[in-house]
Structure 1
Amino acid sequence: MSETEQHQAAIEPGSDIPAEELERLTDDIVSAIKTVYDPEIPVDIYELGLIYRVEIDDDRNIEVDMTLTAPGCPVAGEMPIWVDNAVSSVMGVGAVKVNMVFDPPWTPERMSEEAKVALNWY
């Protein structure tokens, strides 16, 4: 599975949303999440692989499971709020819930190729 497919596999759509609208919502949610950066790393949190799951239910409510690069991250309390604010700004979404999870633990293998290039991670 390519890294793009891995990211796409994290999006769990509601079944009653028309395909065209679901595609737009998905693209807009991912774009919104990509505006959130870990202040210590110059790569967005989506490309870093910190977003584990995005679920879109039939009412267009969004639930996001995310993690941190380290549990002791200084912005651990703020980053979920940033993600909530970003996703909430997407036109057409309902309620947004962001869950902080640490299982499985984040590893650098979750980073996209884009993130690895940006960080010279080889």
Structure 2
Amino acid sequence: MTEFSETMGEPLAEGVTIATEEQMVEAMRTVFDPEIPVNIYDLGLIYTCDITADGTVSVEMSLTAPGCPVAGEMPGMVASALAPLEGTGEVTVKIVWDPAWTPDLMSEDAKLALGMF
């Protein structure tokens, strides 16, 4: 399968406090899959989001299907949401296919929004 990734942002200035997990989650919740009216975080597409002491952010995410038409754009959309966040430096977002995404990864809010209860 094709690999998709995006890196953007600048190294964090020394002495700047790094962003919190909550701040990064809220930023990722502003990104939506164009085909589904639920944000990518609640869809369960974000597998990992790590930040180092120097503000470097690494995200591994998946998509709802390998043939998703926005596969090439989604990493940039997520990086664009995280890079301007105060306390983040360079942001790298990578699409991974293992494990495969399933609806079981969705939050209860996402399932409710999609009428899955």
1:86 is displaced (CA, Å) by 0.3
Q: Which runs of 5+ in 1 are unaligned?
A: 1-20
Question: Relative CO higher for 1 or 2, CA cutoff 8 Å, sep ≥ 6?
Answer: 2
Residue-by-residue CA offset, 1:34-75 (whole Å, 9 max, x unaligned): 000000100000000000000111111100000000010010
Structure 1 residue corresponding to 2:28, chosen from 26, 29, 33: 33
Q: For 1:92 and 1:41, how far apart are their aligned partners in 2?
A: 30
Q: Match of 1:29, SS?
A: helix
Separation in structure 2 between the aligned mates of residue 70 and residue 81 of structure 1, nearest angstrom = 18
Matched, 1:56 2:51: yes
AA aligned to 1:109 is D
SS at match of 2:78: helix
Q: CA deviation at 1:26?
A: 1.3
Further displaced range: 53-62 or 24-33: 24-33
Which residue of 51, 74, 80 corresponds with 1:79? Answer: 74
1:18-40: CA deviation from partner (whole Å, max 9, x where unpaired): xxx66x52111111100000001
Tell me the equivalent position of 2:65: 70
SS of match in other structure, 1:65: strand
Q: Following superposition of structure 1 onto structure 2, how do residues 95-114 of structure 1 map, counting pairs within 5 Å?
A: 95-114=90-109
Give deviations 1:74-114, integer Å, cap 9, x for gaps.
10000110000001021111100001100000000000000
Identity of aligned residues (%): 52
Structure 1 residue ranges (4+ consecutive) displaced by more than 2 angstroms after TM superposition? none
Q: Structure 2: how far apart are the matches of 1:55 and 1:28?
A: 12
User: How many aligned positions are there?
Assistant: 101
Find the partner of 2:89 among 94, 99, 102: 94
Q: Once superposed, what is the RMSD of the aligned Cα atoms?
A: 1.1
Greater share of helix residues, 1 or 2?
Answer: 1
